[in-house]
Amino acid sequence: MSAYQEKLRELTQDEVVSQLEGADGLLALTRAELFYIGEAGVQRAPLGEIKKVVGGKGGTLVVMGEAAPLIEAPVRAFQVDELRLFFESVKTFVARQKQATVSAPPPEPAPPPAPEPAPAEPEPAESVESTEERPVTLEEELPPPITPPEEPAPAAEIYTTEPAAEPARRTGGFMGALLKLFSLGTLGAAGYWIYMNPTADPAYLIFVGVLGLGVALVEWHASNL
């Protein structure tokens, strides 16, 4: 276990759902937070505060919050393809976190205290002999209607980056063109020798053909370096 992973175990006891370790740091994702542990220290961002992730400019990966960066990490410490896959997981868990926050129903207000019953008035003496009981009615207080939850907010933009420029292909220049000509000449010379000596030993003809083809391929490959 690396020193970065040991530091992560000290920071949180939550389940780590995804992590990416590079040469200069560690990115780790739990269900509630995003961590970056590097040489400069620890940076962390709650998933509910992440708005977007921008990478590629100045060689720095920036996790943006509402008004300021939450995490800044060097891009060179990680492989670009692995970094994209990691932030796809971050995007999924950020969307779940925000949807759960929006979908939670508001707490119901506490019912008002029941009014104290008024003291009963004494009945007249002549009503004692009455056997009829007066009906008692209780008016139940209905709870306020529950407001349906609003539509979940769309997930914020999680990862935007500039496409990496494709490396320029080498053409070989003048020496490359010259080696290509030598390659074709070698192949032609071997074929011409075989054509002019059809009665030679078949094993020798095969040897000359394979040798000429091998030398031609080596020259052709060297022309592209």
Residues 85-138: pLDDT tens digits?
988 988 889 888 888 776 655 556 666 666 666 666 666 555 444 445 555 444
Q: What pLDDT does residue 35 have?
A: 92
pLDDT at residue 149, rounded to an integer: 57
The structural domain count of the chain equals: 2
Of 81 and 172, the structure prediction assigns the larger pLDDT to 81
What pLDDT, in 10s, does the model give residues 141-163? 545 655 655 655 554 455 555 55
Question: What is the extent of the structural domain holding 190?
Answer: 173-223
The residue to which tokens 């030398």 are assigned: 215
CATH number at residue 46: 2.30.29
Token couple for 171: 């053409």
What CA–CA distance (Å, rounded) separates 139 from 117?
13
126 compared with 201, residue with greater pLDDT: 201
Length of the chain: 225
Please report the pLDDT score of residue 73 as a whole number.
Answer: 86
What pLDDT, on a 0 to 100 scale, did the predictor assign at position 74? 85
* 46 vs 166 pLDDT, higher one: 46
Q: Which residues does residue 36 pair with via DSSP β-bridges, in sequence order?
A: 27, 43
Q: Are residues 97 and 187 in the same domain?
A: no
Rounded to an integer, what distance in angstroms lies between the CA atom of residue 50 and that of residue 66?
7
Summarize the confidence of residues 158-176 as an average pLDDT: 60
What are the C-alpha distances in Å from 64 to residues 49, 50, 68, 203, 221? 8, 6, 6, 71, 48
Domain co-membership, 16 together with 96: yes
| 184 inside domain | yes
In a domain, 93, yes or no: yes
7 lies in some domain: yes
Query: How large is the average pLDDT for residues 24-45?
Result: 89
The pTM for the full model equals 0.44
